[in-house]
Structure 1
Amino acid sequence: MTDRHARRLPPPWSFPWFWKAQGAGWLLYFTGALVSALAAEEQGGDAILATMPFRVVRVTLGFLVSSGLAVPLQRLPSVRSHPHRFVGLALLGATLAGTVWYPSYRVVSHPWRPEDEGLFDLGCFLPCLLEHIWLMLTWSILFLAATELRLASAREQDKLRAEQMASEARFQMLVYQVNPHFLFNALNSIRALATEDVMRARDMITQLSAFLRHTLTDRAIHAMPLSREVESVAAYLAIEKVRHEELLQIRFDIADEVRDVPIPGFLLHPLVENAVTHGFGAPGVPLHIDVRAYRVDDQLIVEVVNSGTLTSARVDGTGIGLRNVRERLAHRFGSRAALALEETPGAVVARITMPLEKPERRT
């Protein structure tokens, strides 16, 4: 939205800030004019008091005329795309408003003026008219500046909201992108176990239900306790454990002091799934997966360690899961968080480093 027409703002009268600014501005103008008149040597207090009704009428009409002028000014074309039209129409509007303001003021205040004073003083008419036009032009500049500032703020909020919605959409894509091979394999394993080991089949259905409940119904997109994220990962690995039996060895080592620390939701699952997908080596060789979380100074370290070697595909880190983890860490923490994938003797380590945030209070 690059101009006012794109936003189609409601009338300025519907905004409380407009009336507050109008009241404060015209009261300030009235006070300033009164102080200037009192400071003038040629006028005394009695003369100022006698002209007070006219001053009140003048400011009241200025308030009403400028309030009406705000509507067409707000609908002017964008100063960026049509600068000449913008300036020309603004000048025309201020000129018309000033031309309406001064004669109206003379007509309304005429009944209270001395009988020998005509409706219009021809000697003062043109200078007074120009003064009122100039005042309306000044008011227009201030109003347009305030409107541009509010539009700029609204555009920035729209941009941030769009970025947030895009981030949430990418997250939801990852959440609902349950690996079809994993789901099909889990269902096939349940089908096979149903005739061989009913209890194990029931356990696997329970774990699959728990996993899907975490991934498909949990709406804690921005942050959730680490312990809840670990529960989701544990449900996933329990299903894989039923499929691979003793070939998959799992261990969790989560420090008590970091269990309630909030982390971006669905952050660990892509790393664990990556370890299962790429970790198995030669047939019959067990895969060991360790999930660790601990504190180092003011940082939270979360590691997913699996036995095996680092393949070229994992080194690139171009998979959807790893890329999504990096993007979401950068979106939430900027350069203060990172995902590193490295190989140690006999193992591969996916390590997330992020700021240690305070746990949310539970009510």
Structure 2
Amino acid sequence: MTSDRDARRLPPPWSLPWFWKAQAAGWLVYFIGGLLSELASEETGSETILASMPFQIVRVTLGFLISSGLAVGLQRLPSVRANPRRFVGFALLGAAVAGAVWYPSFRVMSHPWRPAGVGRLEVSCFFPCLLEHIWLMLTWTVLFLAVTELQLASAREQDTLRAERLASEARYQMLVYQVNPHFLFNALNSIRALATEDVMRAREMITQLSAFLRHTLADRSIHEVALSREVDSIAAYLAIEKVRHEELLQIRVDIADDLRDVQIPGFLLHPLVENAITHGFRVPDQVLYIDVRARRDSDRLILEVANSGTLTSARTDGTGIGLRNVKERIAHRFGSRAEFRLEETEGVVVARITMPLETLETPP
């Protein structure tokens, strides 16, 4: 499957700051060059040149408009990376058609301004002049594609650097969660206290802690993992918290069976669950309800971590490393096709990730 970066289309010309400046400057140079060429000719007088200026203006204006339309057409072609031969073939064909349209069009449109003896349409000149205009459009197309490809290469390089930065940050964040001193300290402290009070619960907590560490330390994938593996890791983490908080923590996991093999970016849900635990227990002796859900909505996958409580300003701002990491990773992976939202409704805080389902499902 071709990634979004590799299948990147040409950007629309109106979104390129350099395009219109280059268009105006290039066609102005072409216009001045045409006048200078006539001045250098011994057969052309200055009066004839002045009389032919409207004729030249129409020619350059049409060239500007047709080449701008050609740029828009090139932007709509299939991706350069997806099918380079087809792209180049259509691009050259479009340039040839543009040149073929340009020459007779300006001849017809400039007729009212053409003085006697200037720019007469002679059969002997028609085909050479037509080929000249086609060649000019082909040259313009090659220059436009070369500059645009340089722009795309720079954008792809920036995407790669950003992806590497996000991956490095995700690896660091995963290590923080894997060996979270505060979490391990609380877990070991709870085990120590339970060892003299409730041996069975202490043993259960050791078992759950071992399962959690096995999941997080053994599976270091931060790219794509099965949803079931992500949920198993979350379940082990919540089981430890359940032993610590007992009846004050109520957990429900609702994952449809047909979604368990769906591939999601690794270590995506854990920051949301830990965020819910951290903020949900701010009120002492109050039961915290946490729901982890995954559901299908047409061609989209919706992942939700909901907890009872209220949405604090810190959570609303999303300034936490974990939440920011989640948002940046899904934005990089799916662009505008994915969304992360954190909201409160009737005493329930919901962290929701919506992403395309068709690009995530495990191929048969």
User: What TM-score, normalized by structure 2, do the two folds share?
Assistant: 0.55
How far apart are 1:216 and its partner, in Å? 2.5
Q: Secondary structure at the match of 2:305?
A: strand
2:233 and 2:155 mapped to 1: Cα distance? 36
Counterpart in 1 of 2:265?
A: 264
Contact 1:225 1:359 in 2 (8 A): no
How far apart are 1:249 and its partner, in Å? 0.3
1:334 and 1:349 mapped to 2: Cα distance? 22
2:282 and 2:151 mapped to 1: Cα distance? 56
How far apart are 1:218 and its partner, in Å? 1.3
How far apart are 1:221 and its partner, in Å? 1.5
User: For residues 149-228 of structure 1, what are the structure 2 equivalents within 5 Å?
Assistant: 161-178=160-177, 179-228=180-229
User: For residues 56-95 of structure 1, what are the structure 2 equivalents within 5 Å?
Assistant: none
Q: Show structure 1 runs of 5+ residues with no match.
A: 1-147
State whether structure 2 residue 243 is matched by structure 1 residue 248. Answer: no
How far apart are 1:215 and its partner, in Å? 2.1
Contact 2:264 2:360 in 1 (8 A): no
Contact 1:224 1:262 in 2 (8 A): yes
How far apart are 1:198 and its partner, in Å? 2.1
State whether structure 2 residue 342 is matched by structure 1 residue 359. Answer: no
Provide, for residues 189-238 of structure 1, a one-character-per-residue CA deviation record: whole Å limited to 9, x for no partner: 11111222222222212211222222233132211111111111111110
1:316 and 1:151 mapped to 2: Cα distance? 37
Q: Secondary structure at the match of 1:177?
A: helix
Q: Secondary structure at the match of 1:260?
A: coil
Counterpart in 1 of 2:65?
A: none
Aligned CA RMSD, in angstroms, stands at 2.5
Going from structure 1 to structure 2, the CA distance change for 1:281 and 1:177 (only over 3 Å counts) comes to closer
Q: Which runs of 4+ in 1 moved over 3 A?
A: 148-164
1:212 and 1:198 mapped to 2: Cα distance? 21
How far apart are 1:312 and its partner, in Å? 0.9
The structure with the largest alpha-carbon Rg is 1
1:276 and 1:346 mapped to 2: Cα distance? 15
1:295 and 1:157 mapped to 2: Cα distance? 32
Q: Show structure 2 runs of 5+ residues with no match.
A: 1-146
1:252 and 1:153 mapped to 2: Cα distance? 44
Contact 1:175 1:216 in 2 (8 A): no
Counterpart in 2 of 1:314?
A: 315
2:267 and 2:257 mapped to 1: Cα distance? 20
How far apart are 1:177 and its partner, in Å? 0.8
Q: Secondary structure at the match of 1:263?
A: strand
2:148 and 2:307 mapped to 1: Cα distance? 54
**Paired residue type of 1:177:** V
Q: Secondary structure at the match of 2:234?
A: helix
How far apart are 1:150 and its partner, in Å? 12
How far apart are 1:348 and its partner, in Å? 0.7
Q: How many residue pairs align between the two structures? A: 216
1:168 and 1:253 mapped to 2: Cα distance? 29
1:150 and 1:308 mapped to 2: Cα distance? 51
2:349 and 2:150 mapped to 1: Cα distance? 51
2:279 and 2:203 mapped to 1: Cα distance? 28
Counterpart in 2 of 1:231?
A: 232
**Paired residue type of 2:232:** E
Counterpart in 2 of 1:279?
A: 280
1:269 and 1:322 mapped to 2: Cα distance? 10
1:255 and 1:149 mapped to 2: Cα distance? 45
1:338 and 1:209 mapped to 2: Cα distance? 34
User: What TM-score, normalized by structure 1, do the two folds share?
Assistant: 0.55
Counterpart in 2 of 1:93?
A: none
Contact 1:253 1:291 in 2 (8 A): yes
Counterpart in 1 of 2:295?
A: 294
Contact 2:256 2:295 in 1 (8 A): yes
2:301 and 2:152 mapped to 1: Cα distance? 35
Provide, for residues 81-104 of structure 1, a one-character-per-residue CA deviation record: whole Å limited to 9, x for no partner: xxxxxxxxxxxxxxxxxxxxxxxx
Contact 1:291 1:305 in 2 (8 A): yes
